[in-house]
Homo-oligomer: A and B are copies of this chain.
């Protein structure tokens, strides 16, 4: 299960905007510099976020990007969906469209359970929480277990 560079970049850019405040415009170039993201690539991503209704933009001298809604109403899942489509997919198709035969039949509910769990986390955590380094208690609980930081 791989999270794309695009999704990672999009979330980081949104976090920069969240940190700047809802009514401060930040230039793409500045975000790119702060997060080490290729400038032109980031412009494309910010375009996706704008078309998705998550950010607003302003051209010209004092232009830039800002969040279109308060940071505590935008979940990480929303950001990822806007730039990458479905949150979880198997062979490129989302779980409900899959069909399995024989002993593999129960694989479908298993993928559904995985997706539900991912949604639960990324859907409840907001840009405001991450930007302020104040993750919800249940998420923090998962991340605090030293076991979670070890590789298999």
Contacts and interface: CB of A to CB of B under 8 A. Distances in A.
Interface in A5-49: 5, 8, 11-12, 15-16, 18-19, 34-36
Interface in A57-114: 76-77, 81, 86-92, 94, 96, 100-107, 109-114
Contact of A133 (B3, B106, B112, B122): B106
B114 A122 contact: yes
Contacts of A112: 142-143, 148-149
B116 A148 contact: yes
Contacts of A55: none
A150 to B, nearest CB: 8
Interface residues of A, number: 67
Given A4-B91, A87-B152, A103 B131 contact: yes
A91 B101 CA distance: 33
A115 interface: yes
Interface of A: 1-5, 8, 11-12, 15-16, 18-19, 34-36, 76-77, 81, 86-92, 94, 96, 100-107, 109-122, 125, 129-131, 133-135, 139-140, 142-143, 145, 147-152
Given A109-B143, A116-B147, 4 more contacts: A1-B1, A1-B2, A35-B101, A105-B133
